[in-house]
Chain A
Amino acid sequence: MKHDALPTDPAAMAAVARWRLTVRGTVQGVGFRPFVYREATARGLAGWVRNSPAGVIIEVEGDAAALAALRDAIRRTPPANARITALEVRDLAPRGAAGFRIATSEAGGPRSLQLLPDLATCERCLAELLDPNDRRYRYPFINCIDCGPRYSIIEDLPYDRSRTAMRHFPLCAACRAEYHDPANRRFHAEPNACPACGPRLALWEAAGAVLARDDDALVGAAQAIREGRIVAVKGLGGFHLVADARDVAAVARLRARKRRPDKPFAVMFPSLAAIQACCDVSPAAETLLLSAARPIVLLPYRGGPIAPAVAPGNPRLGALLPYTPLHHLLLRELGFPVVATSGNLGGEPIVTDETLALQRLSGLADAFLVHDRPIVRPLDDSLAQLVGGAPQLLRHARGHAPTSLPVAGVRAGLLAGGGHLKTSVALTRETDVVLGAHLGDLESAEACRAHAAALADLVRLLDATPRLAVGDDHPGYASRRTLERTGLPRVTVPHHLAHVAACLAEHGRAPPALGVAWDGTGLGPDGTIWGGEFLRVSGSGWRRIARLRPFPLPGGEAAVREPRRAALGLLYAAYGERALGMTDLTPLAAFAPGERTILGTLLARGVNAPPTSSMGRLFDACAALLGLQQRSSFEGQAAMRLEWAAGPGTPGAAYAFPLREAAEGAVAELDWRPALDALLADIRAGVDIGVIADAWHRGLAAAIVAAAEHAGERTVVLSGGCFQNTFLTEVAVAALRAGGFEPLWHRRIPPNDGGLALGQAVWAGWMEHAGESPCA
């Protein structure tokens, strides 16, 4: 710092001031310092700007009006990808500084800054990529301050090249000049690179031998895909398995190799126009597709070139646009849509390392398009849909993670481990909670290791000192084991409470509220399987005020895989032994007579037939009864079929799901029995499935309103996997609004178990604040 002589002119003295501005939020890796540099120099201000672990610090002096103008510019027109959560201004004594400079980053100290998610290639970089006269023409790793890899390459903070995966690539003279020129849009673009100094492509055959390098590798990979082969492509956050989405045989081969019979694949299209040619793209969907996060967006599929096996029997298609220069080049080379599914073995995390890919994906891919820029942490593609015309994230990953949510009344140091499926991790800080990326299902040893690594990574990256590990109550969840191994004291938060807390926290809200937590299965504090819950939450605790009337699941977890078992359990709960004879119903007919008898005995004896209040399983039962799905090969498959059956234009009279008041102290029950009676009558009368499905959804929406009236809470939170059902959410929201309630549903945080870690951290924090045990 220069300490020039103070100005002596009294008039100048009066006009000159010095401010210290601290800017918090997403302010690093977005071109914030060059922006401040330009704004300050344009106004003739002196001083400096620098990154610190707390955010961006600016000390600036000059004319008081110019200072105010700079402050307003920061507030009103920050760089496109910046998000300011706080701007503090402190008055200092002027020192007569001259010139404005960008000072070296300051490491150490408390870290309150936000980590930046990865950003899709910007228009300007794309133009250069395709400009034969540009020195980065067809260079698959072009980026600038507005775009490129961020979270996927960050090794430590503050965000500087030396602490990213780019430290392996010393800048060439040309790139260095850009990097140090405040007027250049690559000024301090940490992943800046060019063909002379940056990462390079290679194409490997299945055993790892190099077939081609650089552009030839890209062209060779495109040729392989064109010929119907499956190519593993190392992208931004991991490998994709890529195949021609139009090629029936290639898609069938991919399904067979992945042993994934039905679960839809995402499709990457060369352009928005190509998506519009076969999908309905609303303006909101278009914005989402083109957002810097570039998620997979579930869109109504009208029909077109896509092989039916990409999303069998599915009226929607998961579409996405290229988000890295590599993907842009590949899709341009191909000119047709490709399946782009996570490069992993079923149940394992996405593969990020090319050497490991050879081993893990050897039976899956025919060739490997790889590069030498290390991926620091795995990031799947994010997945979004539109609910009531607005985006809802179903998988919180690339481009979104990590998410910071300001939460009041929560102390730092709570480390949450999430659930068992769609796991993620979260950590509380002084003023916010940070949710990490989707990690997937903890069904494999590799996934469990990735989960442990993600917990450690979040702690290290945020330089936090965790005090308490927060998890789920279920003793069989693998996340529980990971948390045990942290050696931290542990608390658990009931599954459905965590769902409700996640939704409140996402909206920056706090109790009181009525939580409607509907999902597949979660362990309740009474040791039974919950899933159709109405929880009243307050600042000091919670109470289950109502639940779905329980029914047994013959075979336990087997009933999750086989909706016909949920149907059998439901019928048995309603009609007893008589249910076993209802072979006119599809789910009953789907069992061999011997199986039916044995399952009947199982139900009668209560052996491995745990009772559940699960709404997800009730949806399964209904889908099975309607003949839509008897066995599921992926989560939510049956419920989705029921949702799609309830298409527009088939309004049915809502089925009755009465809320039965219970005796003093007991929990009220949402009774499915009248709806089941009506449903069976309609099935037997041959009523259209669309009408039945519609009546089902509307009946449940009405039940939510009745429960809200019963609870007397104005705010009603809709959370849990069942609210991935857009139709259910939309009718419930409309019904609640009509009833004078304020419905809250998920937007940025998934309604499924992907939100649990956030909810666990926040609920444990709130209860700590209230001096309550989290499980109270």
Chain B
Amino acid sequence: LAHGGGGRAMARLIDALIRPAFADAELDRRHDGALLALDGPAAFTTDSYVVRPLVFPGGDIGTLAVHGTVNDLAMCGARPRYLSVGLILEEGLPLAVLRRVVASMGAAATASGVRLVTGDTKVVERGKADGLFINTAGIGQVVAPVPVGPAGVEPGDAVILSGDIGRHGMAIMAAREGFGFETVIESDCAPLAEAVLALFAAGVTVHCLRDLTRGGLASALVEIAEAAGRAIGIDEAAIPVADHVLAACELLGLDPLQVANEGRFVAFVPGAEAERALGALRCHAPASGAVVIGAVKEAPAGEVTCRGALGVERIIDMLSGEQLPRIC
């Protein structure tokens, strides 16, 4: 790839490679912006994606860039509708990689039921970027009857986890560092909107939603407990972790609770509605393994505990930089 500046070369790149991949009438209008129709309250979010490597088992930076933003909209209790895409390409990026990434984005958008309606592409000199960066912004239509968020969390709420944890972070690490695990770990990267919307469709009172990205389950729960001013207790035995992921975590000395995910979320719903929520979630592939992992308690504010073997509770902390041994 050697398409500095703007002009013809860039136009050819976009026409030949990017626009077909995204295949949207709004893009085809070749206008400065998209004209959209929305009714009712909307959710709006943006995120930038800089993951290395660009391609990993179970996905690539393109899938992440679509799912990440779509999932953030879903966590607001919104149906994702429109996405913008900003690509920053480094001179020298193999065209094959670019082709794959934009194809993934198109496919991911289709799978998520979202339209890529506006975009921008820049090529920068070699050394000014690391291969490829993507920014996406998304607009969704709010379907939650009341705002979802930590403020809605109440004692007695069930904590539902949508599936097994740790696969994305371990897949990325294995691909980046070249760890040759016996069983290849695939990222859990997936669109979560359909599963989340099913909760609302089933009439579940959803108090809070949070996708588990960086910092893993531990960080998500601590953030929610702190913001809600409540305590959360989870049960170690209830948290699904695939055997090969667990083995990899043990070998590398990592805590699966702190490993990143890209297709997992937690939902806080009234305890009495937990079964109904599970029923709704399990109909959708990325949440087919949904389980209740714990419950919200009144106090102490901000404390997350995990009940392990013998019923001993340990305190779960947010990941702060590198994990350093504490045992003296």
Residues of A at the B interface (CB closer than 8 Å) are 259, 345-348, 360, 363, 419-422, 443-446, 448, 474-478, 481, 495, 519-523, 529, 531, 553-561, 594-595, 597-599, 601-602, 605, 607-608, 610, 612, 616, 635, 721, 752-753
Residues of B with C-beta under 8 A to A448 = 315
Residues of A with C-beta under 8 A to B328 = 419-422, 495, 519-522, 531, 616, 635, 721, 752-753
- Assess the B324–A610 pair: CB atoms within 8 A: yes
B7 close to A (CB within 8 Å): no
Residues of B with C-beta under 8 A to A345 = 310-312
Return 14 A-B CB contacts under 8 Å, by A number: A345-B312, A360-B311, A363-B310, A421-B328, A445-B305, A529-B324, A556-B324, A559-B325, A561-B327, A594-B180, A598-B252, A601-B179, A608-B323, A610-B325
Specify the chain A residue showing the minimal Cβ separation from B177: A605
Question: Contact flags (1/0) for B304-328 with A, using CB distance below 8 Å?
Answer: 0100011111110100111111111
Bound-state Cα–Cα, A738 to B309, Å: 51
Contact of A556 among B182, B309, B325 (CB under 8 A): B325
Contact of A597 among B180, B303, B309, B311 (CB under 8 A): B180
Residues of B with C-beta under 8 A to A612 = 325
- Assess the B177–A444 pair: CB atoms within 8 A: no
Given A259-B310, A607-B173, A753-B328, check contact A594 B182 (CB 8 Å). Answer: yes
Residues of B with C-beta under 8 A to A422 = 328
Q: A419, A474, A554, A598: which has the most chain B beta carbons within 10 Å?
A: A598
B250 close to A (CB within 8 Å): yes
Residues of B with C-beta under 8 A to A519 = 328
Bound-state Cα–Cα, A597 to B252, Å: 12
- Assess the B177–A601 pair: CB atoms within 8 A: yes
- Assess the A346–B324 pair: CB atoms within 8 A: no
Residues of B with C-beta under 8 A to A555 = 251-253
Specify the chain B residue showing the minimal Cβ separation from A478: B315
Given A598-B180, A607-B173, A608-B253, check contact A444 B325 (CB 8 Å). Answer: no
Cβ < 8 Å to A, chain B residues 271-314: 303, 305, 309-314
- Assess the B180–A446 pair: CB atoms within 8 A: no
A sample of 6 more A-B contacts (CB under 8 A), given A561-B327, A598-B180, A602-B177, is A345-B311, A346-B310, A495-B328, A520-B325, A556-B323, A610-B325
Given A346-B310, A607-B173, A607-B177, check contact A476 B320 (CB 8 Å). Answer: yes
Contact of A608 among B252, B314, B326 (CB under 8 A): B252
Residues of B with C-beta under 8 A to A597 = 180
Residues of A with C-beta under 8 A to B312 = 345-348, 444, 446
B6 close to A (CB within 8 Å): no
Compute the total of residue contacts between A and B using a CB distance below 8 Å. 124
Bound-state Cα–Cα, A475 to B317, Å: 11
Output the least CB separation between A647 and chain B (Å).
27
Bound-state Cα–Cα, A104 to B60, Å: 81
- Assess the B326–A420 pair: CB atoms within 8 A: yes
- Assess the A608–B254 pair: CB atoms within 8 A: yes
Question: Contact flags (1/0) for B142-170 with A, using CB distance below 8 Å?
Answer: 00000000000000000000000000000
- Assess the A521–B310 pair: CB atoms within 8 A: no
Bound-state Cα–Cα, A422 to B321, Å: 25
Specify the chain B residue showing the minimal Cβ separation from A721: B328
Output the least CB separation between A574 and chain B (Å).
21
B41 close to A (CB within 8 Å): no
Q: Which 9 A-B pairs have the closest CB atoms?
A: A555-B253, A558-B253, A445-B313, A557-B325, A520-B328, A560-B327, A556-B253, A521-B325, A445-B305
Residues of A with C-beta under 8 A to B182 = 594
Residues of B with C-beta under 8 A to A443 = 314
Cβ < 8 Å to A, chain B residues 158-207: 173, 177-182
- Assess the B251–A599 pair: CB atoms within 8 A: yes
> Number of B residues contacting the other chain (C-beta, 8 Å)?
31
- Assess the B327–A635 pair: CB atoms within 8 A: yes
Output the least CB separation between A190 and chain B (Å).
35
Specify the chain A residue showing the minimal Cβ separation from B248: A598
Bound-state Cα–Cα, A673 to B253, Å: 26
Specify the chain A residue showing the minimal Cβ separation from B323: A556
Bound-state Cα–Cα, A445 to B324, Å: 20
Bound-state Cα–Cα, A72 to B286, Å: 84
Residues of A with C-beta under 8 A to B315 = 444-445, 448, 478, 481
Q: B178, B314, B322: which has the most chain A beta carbons within 10 Å?
A: B314
- Assess the A521–B326 pair: CB atoms within 8 A: yes
Output the least CB separation between A754 and chain B (Å).
10
Output the least CB separation between B138 and chain A (Å).
33
Specify the chain A residue showing the minimal Cβ separation from B182: A594
Residues of A with C-beta under 8 A to B317 = 476
Specify the chain A residue showing the minimal Cβ separation from B255: A557
Question: Contact flags (1/0) for B24-62 with A, using CB distance below 8 Å?
Answer: 000000000000000000000000000000000000000
- Assess the B320–A558 pair: CB atoms within 8 A: no
Output the least CB separation between B53 and chain A (Å).
14
Output the least CB separation between B230 and chain A (Å).
15
Specify the chain B residue showing the minimal Cβ separation from A617: B325
Specify the chain B residue showing the minimal Cβ separation from A756: B328
Contact of A347 among B314, B320, B324 (CB under 8 A): B314
Residues of A with C-beta under 8 A to B254 = 608
Specify the chain B residue showing the minimal Cβ separation from A446: B313
Question: Contact flags (1/0) for B250-273 with A, using CB distance below 8 Å?
Answer: 111110000000000000000000
Contact of B252 among A560, A594, A602 (CB under 8 A): A602
Bound-state Cα–Cα, A612 to B181, Å: 27
Residues of A with C-beta under 8 A to B323 = 476, 556-557, 608
Residues of A with C-beta under 8 A to B309 = 259, 346
Bound-state Cα–Cα, A481 to B315, Å: 11
Residues of A with C-beta under 8 A to B303 = 445
Residues of A with C-beta under 8 A to B179 = 598, 601-602
Given A558-B250, A602-B177, A607-B252, check contact A444 B327 (CB 8 Å). Answer: no
Specify the chain A residue showing the minimal Cβ separation from B316: A445
Bound-state Cα–Cα, A753 to B309, Å: 26
Bound-state Cα–Cα, A346 to B312, Å: 7
- Assess the A523–B324 pair: CB atoms within 8 A: yes
- Assess the B181–A475 pair: CB atoms within 8 A: no
Specify the chain B residue showing the minimal Cβ separation from A420: B326
Output the least CB separation between B83 and chain A (Å).
33
Q: B305, B311, B312: which has the most chain A beta carbons within 10 Å?
A: B312
Output the least CB separation between A212 and chain B (Å).
28
Residues of B with C-beta under 8 A to A481 = 315
Bound-state Cα–Cα, A476 to B315, Å: 11
Specify the chain B residue showing the minimal Cβ separation from A612: B325
Output the least CB separation between B310 and chain A (Å).
5
Bound-state Cα–Cα, A570 to B326, Å: 20
